[in-house]
Structure 1
């Protein structure tokens, strides 16, 4: 290996070259069958992905955004209802809520996992909501009924689902998982006394198969998982112009179908996903070892109840821009996920949030940095990345020793 070669933030070439023969044969089958939309390839992938997630149903759609939008619509959320989520996520989360004609409102994230904080959720429900005469939960901010929660399993690690589900049950709320970054992630549920997969704990869950995901298509793709047969049937109609059968439209729907070629690609890759995820976990452990001596870099925190799949390996430093520039000069790619919390985005000015409303998300947004992470990342490359991070820290000493302090994350309730 050329130790001076550039290290990309993400390598999408190598895994496809490794699977080139399988994928080429798949493409030929599609060409020869002309089965481009629907059919056995889509159905077979849905069956396999449902089994992978330990659920009864998977509904394949054309993007993760559509997956979340259809899940929210089919769950019973009504136009004008409030859906709670976090400001530290990609805008697709809130786009799906808005496109389902609901209103997003935010609760802050946990400062160690960057996922929805059950404590902040509890405070919102207790202090920022009231019950009206009909017993409905009403947001004091918007005056609208609160009906659902969308926790985001960010960076490949699940949110504290037992605590969130307990609060949802107490307040009569629907939980839809945004699992778009968490294919194969697991959570140990004390309530169920077993490890449970991302996508199996809420009323439904949305997955994205954007090419850079742990399970990525060669284009746009998504899926919804659920154990609710009625929801699954409704979502199948929503994705296909509201058709219950050809040319019979029970509702007005959308064109949100997944094409057969992408389904076949995903089904082919699915057999490799567990191995790829284990490689990501191994790479994350190696990064942890290599970077553990640097007291000015905050490492990812994985609670005992979590088995993350490291869609991203995210560190934290008080001189994020300086470190990013240093890595770039050394030929090492990096990324920021995400630099601007959603409540600061111009698209959501109408929600009337202010600086300081979500201090953890706001602070993290200026300090988080994603290092190269993919199954094919070589140990020599990781050593070089870690050496450059360590060299920059030693030179600058930003004085953030507290960032690397391991802490316990307590569940609520």
Structure 2
């Protein structure tokens, strides 16, 4: 029954039961001491007899174990919203445990008699089986009823507390959503400003330097792609646009180095109609330009893209630079992996081979 995490620990139940038992015991003895009928025979020393202390110890131990089991079991049923039929098993166990406890305490009792008051006189009466059964039924209803009540009230309190936590989390999410929308708008404003500025610079540079104006125009095209693509519901862009801007990245780098770079870029297959998350291929190519030996005639940057039956294979290999290396944080590659995970799950494979002289990346997407 208690496979879940227990709502109340045994020792917490024990100390509560012990406290309640002490309070009611003291109150009972005080009531007897002031009662006209019992005060003459009352003796506070009865509190400390061996038999009385043993009976109280057994009572506290049983009550602690009983409530520990019953309250936690009923709480689990309330928490999991189980049907009424599931309450039968813990209730039967509780009834059997109470019957065993009552039988044990009856045989442990020194006297099998009780004292009742009738017309201001005390009469001793034998504990008959019928009286024992009646006492057992009343006590069982009280014990089980209390366990159910405690479990139910605890469940209501926990639900109310959890509801408040969820409401607070919902409010926090709303705040974060508003902040994200604000940041998104701000992030759009800044690139738009840069895009417009690039167009202005292109227009101004055109009469003076065709190469400079071409570089500015190419960069402006890439910025427009960054702003406009990937806005579909699935966050993907046409593969042909990604390829076009891979060529733009190559063009800008060629302009930087007066068209002296050795780059091979081959595309095979039908790319029209295919989509891909934007800037994945561009980032891999940029990484090759950043860390590669761009002027090696024997080992040019080799970029190959193949598309067949909705499957994509991308290959990029470059010879490493000789001399001081640019510091790399690896953030770009980590971001690519996270984006690929979200977009394609298990339908992709990204391999990175970092050798002493060469750096190779291979990306396979089995379902575009």
User: Do both share a fold (TM > 0.5)?
Assistant: no
Kindly indicate which of the two structures has a greater share of residues assigned to helix.
Answer: 2
- TM-score tier by shorter-chain length is under 0.3
Q: Which has the higher contact order (CA 8 A, sep 6+)?
A: 1
TM-score (norm 1): 0.18
